[in-house]
Amino acid sequence: MKTARRTRRTVRTAGLVAVAAAAAFSLTACQDDGTGADDAAGSPSASASSQDTGGSTSGQDDSGTGGSSGSDTGSGGDRTTSGSGSDGGSTAGSGGGDGDVQRKPCDVRTTTVRFQQTGGSAPVILLKATNTGGDRCDLYGYPFVGYPDAQAPIEAGGGQPQSVVSLDPGKSAYSALSLEPGNNANMHREKKLTVELATRDQHGTGHTATLTAPGAGLSLSGESSRVSYWNTTPELAMQ
């Protein structure tokens, strides 16, 4: 009887050991699976790094619209990725814009100014400026139109104000000179008028052209005569 009880205890003990061993093995397997999940969760960092690189490339494309060269846009993209995007963007913009091209005002020595009839009944005549030089120039504000014995150029008024009108070689812009429509007591006719173009700060360039008015001359008066801002079309100049 004692031998049988010992045999049963031995069998039970062996069974418990086997169960414990199986549980330990299962726990180890679960821990291995957890480590694998961490590794899998860690892998997106590589994917995120790839996305960051893609973002830098996208930044280069955005800067590329304003940049003038590949090297400039590349540096702009890097700056954007590193967090100094505003600096990179402004650099790329100035590099690809007009900042690199030295702007110069149009001058009557390389820009021809002449009168042009409107063909309508309105008391107005156009001044047409054409760039006859080999480089682009800029028209600022409005032309300074004078005549003999004038105390000052004709005042500005009318037209759509433009900060600058750029003229490539062969291109033209327009300014409208309004005339006196009736027989005002202060009306006077002028056959010869002078035109001087403006610099960026609205000073004269120092060179004037003399224009001959059509017919008996232009009827002007201090009350109604005005010269408009430069515009790209006659219609805008006469507004």
Where are the chain's structural domains?
Answer: 2-100, 111-237
Q: What is the dihedral of CA 16, 22, 25, 31, to 10 degrees?
A: -100
Q: What is the C-alpha to C-alpha distance for residues 238 and 160, in angstroms, rounded to an integer?
A: 9
pTM flag (> 0.75): no
- The gap from C-alpha 156 to its chain's centroid, in whole angstroms, comes to 28
Neighbouring residues of 81: CB distance < 8 A, sequence distance ≥ 6: 52, 55, 56, 59
230 contacts 174 by C-beta, under 8 angstroms = yes
- Residue given tokens 């009827």 in the structure block: 219
Per-residue confidence in pLDDT tens, the chain, 239 aa:
444 444 444 434 444 334 344 434 443 433 444 444 333 333 333 333 333 333 333 333 443 333 333 334 333 333 333 333 333 333 223 233 445 467 899 999 999 999 999 888 889 999 999 999 999 999 999 999 999 989 999 999 877 787 899 999 999 999 999 999 877 788 999 999 999 999 999 999 999 999 999 999 999 998 889 999 999 999 999 98
Contacts 24+ apart (CB under 8 A), 45-50: none
Question: Among the CATH numbers 2.60.40, 3.30.70, 1.20.1300, 1.10.3470, which is that of 111-237?
Answer: 2.60.40
